[in-house]
Structure 1
Amino acid sequence: MIIDGEHLTLEDIIEVAVKKGSVELALESKEKVETSRKYVEKIIRNNDVVYGVTTGFGKFCNVNISSQDTRDLQVNLIRSHSAGVGEYLPEDAVRAMMLLRANALAKGYSGIRYSTLQTLIDMLNKGVIPQVPSQGSLGASGDLVPLAHMVLVMIGEGEATYKGKVMSGKEAMQLAGIMPVTLEAKEGLALINGTQAMTAIGSLALAEAINLSRIADISAALTFEALNGVIDAFDENVNLVRPHKGQIECARNMRKLLEGSQFVTHQGNPKVQDAYTLRCIPQVHGAVRDALEHIKEIVEIEMNSATDNPLIFPESDVVISGGNFHGEPIAINMDYMGVAVSELASIAERRIERLVNPSLNEGLPAFLVDNGGLNSGLMIAQYTAASLVSENKTLVTPASVDSIPSSANQEDHVSMGTIAARKARKIVENTRNVLAIELLCAAQAIDLRLKSKNNQRLGKGTKLMYDFIREKVMQLQKDRVLSNDIKNLAELIKRGKLIEKVEKERGNLVN
């Protein structure tokens, strides 16, 4: 993959962060980087006063630094800012962060040397992955703490994983055949002043959230059949007169998945209409789709932005201190994504309740098991779903509305964007498990329907999904440990196997 600071996409993030694709810097980016670096060197020769180059940082912005101390200034910056705590970020998040930082530097506005940028790319390509604590970023001035831990390894310090083993950064660089960097003026600041940690975590969460929005249609369709839903609610006429794009797409998916089903009903026979969790699937799932589409647009802009400070504009002969490091665009949209994805879990859990509750499940056995009483069936699976939904409710409290001043009130409003991104990824994980539980319950309900009505057919799309689930998870005949079943289905969701199965044989669902 060639990066130039302009064209990175969400799909590219997955290719490099998850699938471990390699990266190369575009030739034109090399030229921009070298031009920007020459301008920084001119600043140093002229003893110009430029923030972070010939001055201290934060509240120390008015402290002048001599030209002979500029190297020490950059190393001290990295060491002092490596103050993270908590669990380490997963490898995919760190790989995404490295890619995003390299892409931002490739724009040529940061004043870094080409050789330093190439070192970061070499680490990514050869699998030297810094150990980066997950906590400590305020999201302005960018992700200083996590990015500093990334740069520690670049200078031969800190810790990293290499070929599956955790070791010192120095050892990892040696084994990979990469020479550690001796930071020059501006380079430490150029490497850590940006929004790449929050954007990395958020990008990975967003990619799975988009996948979950498609899985939710499938799990809802299975439940819809199991509960003999009234399909008229998905009629094209209904949805075209309220023309939200996501709603129209979801209704189309539902019709496609349920085509040919003999388990669905029509209004007035025997029901006039369904409860909201069935009837309003396009309205709820569609709103989530629309939200995710907007969030993707914002995130991809951020992926291709220069977010450090100051920025170098050689063609204009100027260096400008600004605020592109402020993570507010990502912070707000990560909170937005958390709210949107939590709604997929919320409505799915209510569908699960309808499946297992004998007062609501259209004549199915209580908790979807024969010989109830002796067997508890899927009773506690619903408990787990309810627990995850409740946890999501605590997680969706916005991080972006909070701010605590730092650096002696010089940095007096911050975004908390990395907290928002971490919360969003946890909400996605919880929602994945709720949808796995819905698939488990819906497949069991369909088993029971088929048992009493052997001559009825499932929809063309739902039949594929039902058969695939039954290849991976057995029908529940009597009580067993359910945790492994949920885990197996959640893993199939995460790896995209369920979508792949449907689309291979049924044609593409609407993205």
Structure 2
Amino acid sequence: MSAVEGTIDLSAPLRSADLRRAAAPVSVVVDASVRDRVERGRDFLRDVREEERPVYGATTGFGALVGFAGREEEADQCDNTLAHLGAGQGPDLADDVSRAAILVRTWSLAQGASGVSAHVVDGLAAMFTTTFVPAIPRYGSVGASGDLIPLAYAAQALRGRGQAYLDGSRMPAAEALRDAGLTPLALDGRDALALVNGTSLTTAATALALDSVRSSHRALQALTCLLVDLLGCDPGFLHPRLLGAYGHPGAVDVADGMRKTLAGTLPAGTRPLQEPYSIRCSPQLLGAAEDALRYVDGVVAADLSSVSDNPLFFPDDDLVVHGGNFFGQPAAFAADVLAMVTAQLGNLAERQLDLLVDPARNGGLPPMLAAGPGRQHGMQGVQLATTAFVAEIRRAAVPASTQSLPTNLHNQDVVPFGTQAALRAYDMAELLRLLCGSLAVGLRQAAHVGARRPTASGCAALLDTLVEAIPAVDPDRALDADVRRAAELLTATPPG
């Protein structure tokens, strides 16, 4: 088992960086203030039940069957909550997504408004010190009453039912818990409902996708600058007066950063007066992406500080409120915006690589940047692959948040499909990383086959880093691993 590194404090705000760290063993701290508010919420639930006030899911059926009585025994009511949700299908979610989703759920429950037992929060926190990962099928959530089916699989695995992973190996969950030194969670009906009745998977996948797309967005700014310098383009398209007149904050900020990277560059004087849009309009494109990503930043920050549950308990006000905080519409919209941004950033990377390999537009460099055209093929395979990546991204970019379908006897008569939007954005973000890696390998190869040495120190430093990590393509070889290495090099350190 891996060593535990770092801590996540449940009394502090949850951040995207915490979700990334939770992919590996980490200490999740349940301090006295957290325990106190969780226990107060639980005590209040007990008082409410003794007063026979109505509480959804404590004694009732679920969803459309709320009008029927649930099971009388607490442990039986837990089974009543979870058993029917074992209907997911498809491949298991990636480990980082599953663990991030459970961390989001743990933080939400730790706010004390869900009425859960304190030992539930303790048990969830203990999981993070190990490599335990519930096996959660991808398909089954509509994100309308939270991520019911995926989170039910997580809850069942933590009870020792179903399947889980430990140290990367899939096995029965009871065996994984035992080998990890974890105690199976004991849940009553309220505990079980609180574990599943929230948008934690949707939030986690959106947050992880956002981090990845932001890293690629930064990488594309740097790669565009390197392209400009290698080809000897005039950087006038980044002039502050030009972008100031444009007026969009993201474009102004992106252009400012690109000018800093290109500081000291000397145009070759051999390029056309106006470059193709993939160069000339890059600050407008990347700037619009920045503005859109800032919107997604705000949604993710709100979701990470959200208690997405039903009902909620407020002891200080003697209040039990039934409602719809589990409705994942904000993240659905945000993930769809993220998908659109990803598609256009992917278009930019692919078009820039296409320009770079075309001798009619690349300043006379050999076709496909081949060291010996015909005898060698340089970037030809990589360029074909990038076309496939972009096609896949475009196919996946259809908005999910507009696809509402009624379900659950029309109890859930509108649904956001945020889970689909978020997981789709997560997948698309990985393809965008590979497009960045492909462009980077192309730029490195351009330097090998005759592009000029960059004249801006920032661009020269980036090229030197790529040259050190990626050998020249001479002779031809498989480049799949080089593309992945370049992508990792460019996007390995997203911000906290």
Short-chain TM bin: over 0.9
| CA distance in structure 1 between the aligned counterparts of 2:84 and 2:167, rounded to whole angstroms | 28
Contact map agreement 2:225 2:262 (CA 8 A) in 1 = yes
Q: 2:18 aligns with which of 12, 15, 27?
A: 12
SS at match of 1:160: strand
Please show how residues 242-321 of structure 1 align to structure 2 within 5 Å. 242-262=246-266, 264-265=267-268, 271-321=272-322
Native 8 Å contact 1:385 1:437 kept in 2: yes
* 3-state SS, counterpart of residue 167 of structure 1: strand
CA distance 1:194–1:128, shift in 2 (3 Å): same
**CA distance in 2: counterparts of 1:34 and 1:407, whole angstroms:** 33
8 A Cα contact 1:308 1:325, kept in partner: yes
Equivalent residue runs for 1:328-407 within 5 Å: 328-407=329-408
Rounded to whole Å, the distance in 1 between the matches of 2:378 and 2:181 is: 56
Shift of 1:323: 0.5
How far off its partner does 1:420 sit?
Answer: 0.5
Where does structure 1 differ by over 4 angstroms across 4 or more consecutive aligned residues?
A: none
**1:180 alignment partner, one of 181, 184, 191:** 184
Cα deviation, residue 494, structure 1: 4.3
Task: Please tell me the residue identity of whatever aligns with 1:92.
Answer: D
Is there any run of 5+ residues in structure 1 with no aligned partner, and where? 500-509
User: 1:471: Cα distance to partner?
Assistant: 1.2
Write the letter of the residue equivalent to 2:229: E
Query: How far 1:5 sits from its partner (Å)?
Result: 6.4
What per-residue deviation string (whole Å, max 9, x for no partner) do you get for residues 42-93 of structure 1? 2332333221112110111111236x33331222211221221111111111
Deviation at 1:329, TM superposition (A): 0.4
- Residue aligned with 2:450, SS: helix
Indicate the residue corresponding to 2:34 in structure 1: 29
CA-CA distance at 1:174 after TM superposition: 2.1
Residue aligning to 1:95: 99
Check whether the contact 2:163–2:170 (CA below 8 A) recurs between aligned residues.
Answer: yes
Q: Which shows bigger deviation, 133-142 or 271-280?
A: 271-280
Classify the secondary structure of the residue corresponding to 1:449. coil
Paired letter, 2:254: C
Give the aligned partner of residue 476 of structure 1: 473
User: How far does residue 2 in structure 1 lie from its aligned partner after superposition?
Assistant: 4.5
2 CA distance for matches of 1:487 and 1:163? 24
The one of 35, 39, 58 equivalent to 1:53 is 58
Cα separation, 1, equivalents of 2:291 and 2:17: 18
* Structure 2 residue matching 1:166: 3-state secondary structure: strand
Alignment of 1:160-179 (within 5 A): 160-179=164-183
Superposed CA offset, 1:253-274 (max 9, x none): 2222222234x357xx653221
Residues 37 and 113, structure 1, Cα contact 8 Å, conserved in 2: yes
TM-score with structure 2 length normalisation? 0.94
- Quick one: which amino acid aligns to residue 438 of structure 2? I
- What SS class does the counterpart of residue 110 from structure 1 fall into? coil
Cα offset for 1:485? 2.0
Secondary structure of the residue aligned to 1:86 is strand
CA distance in 1, matches of 2:450, 2:25: 44
Q: Deviations over 1:210-269 (max 9, x none)?
A: 11111001111121123322211112222222232321222122222222234x357xx6
C-alpha change, 1:404 and 1:160, in structure 2 (3 Å) is: same
Name which of 217, 236, 259 aligns with 2:221. Answer: 217
Q: Aligned letter for 1:236?
A: P
TM-score (norm 1): 0.91
Tell me how many residue pairs correspond in the alignment: 490
Tell me if structure 1 keeps the 8 A contact 2:229–2:454.
Answer: no
Larger displacement relative to structure 2 (241-250 or 330-339): 241-250
Give the CA RMSD over aligned residues: 2.0
> Could you tell me whether the CA contact under 8 Å between 2:371 and 2:449 is conserved in 1?
no
**Separation in structure 2 between the aligned mates of residue 2 and residue 380 of structure 1, nearest angstrom:** 44
For residues 141 and 276 of structure 2, the distance between their equivalents in structure 1, rounded to whole angstroms, comes to 44
Which whole-Å deviations, capped at 9, do the CAs of 1:389-434 have from their partners, x for residues lacking one?
1111111100111122221111111111111011111111111111
Do 1:331 and 1:415's aligned partners in 2 also have CA atoms closer than 8 Å?
Answer: yes
How far the C-alpha of 1:15 sits from its partner, in A, is 2.4
In the aligned structure 2, how far is the partner of 1:457 from the partner of 1:465? 10
Structure 2 CA distance, aligned partners of 1:143 and 1:380? 40
Cα distance 1:122–1:80, how it changes in 2: closer, same or farther (>3 A)?
same
Partner of 2:207: 203
Structure 1 position 44 matched with structure 2 position 46: no
Give the corresponding residue for 2:193: 189
Residue 3 of structure 2 aligns with which residue?
A: none
Contact 1:49 1:64 in 2 (8 A): no
Alignment counterpart, residue 111 of structure 2, candidates 89, 101, 107: 107
In the TM superposition, residue 473 of structure 1 has moved relative to its aligned partner by 1.3
Quick one: distance in 1 between partners of 2:12 and 2:66? 31
Corresponding residue to 2:488 among 485, 488, 491: 491
The residue that corresponds to 1:149 in the other structure is 153
Matched residue type, 1:463: A
How many Å separate the matches in 2 of 1:313 and 1:303? Answer: 20
**Aligned letter for 1:439?**
A
SS in 1 for 2:204: helix
Do the aligned residues in 1 keep the contact of 2:109 with 2:121 (CA within 8 Å)?
yes
Correspondent of 1:467 among 457, 464, 471: 464
| Equivalent position SS for 1:384 | helix
Within 2, Cα distance between the matches of 1:176 and 1:414?
37
CA contact (8 A) 1:310 1:319 kept: yes
Q: Is the 8 Å Cα contact of residues 3 and 106 (structure 1) preserved in structure 2?
A: no
Structure 2 residue matching 1:319: 3-state secondary structure: strand
Alignment gaps of 5+ in structure 2: 1-6
For residue 8 of structure 1, report the CA deviation from its aligned partner. Answer: 0.9
The equivalent residue for 1:65 is 70
Displacement, 1:276?
Answer: 1.0
8 Å contact from structure 1 (residues 260, 457) kept in 2 = no
Change beyond 3 A, Cα 1:249–1:447? farther
Matched position secondary structure for 2:91: strand
- Aligned equivalent of 2:439: 438
Q: Distance in 2 between matches of 1:241 and 1:327?
A: 38
The residue aligned with 1:505 is none
Give 1:6 deviation, angstroms: 6.0
Amino acid across the alignment from 1:109: A
Please give the alpha-carbon distance, in whole angstroms, between the structure 2 residues aligned to 1:481 and 1:165.
30
Q: Does the 8 Å CA contact 1:404/1:414 hold for their aligned counterparts? A: yes
SS at match of 1:161: strand
After TM superposition, the structure 1 stretch with the greater mean CA deviation from structure 2, 349-358 or 326-335, is 349-358
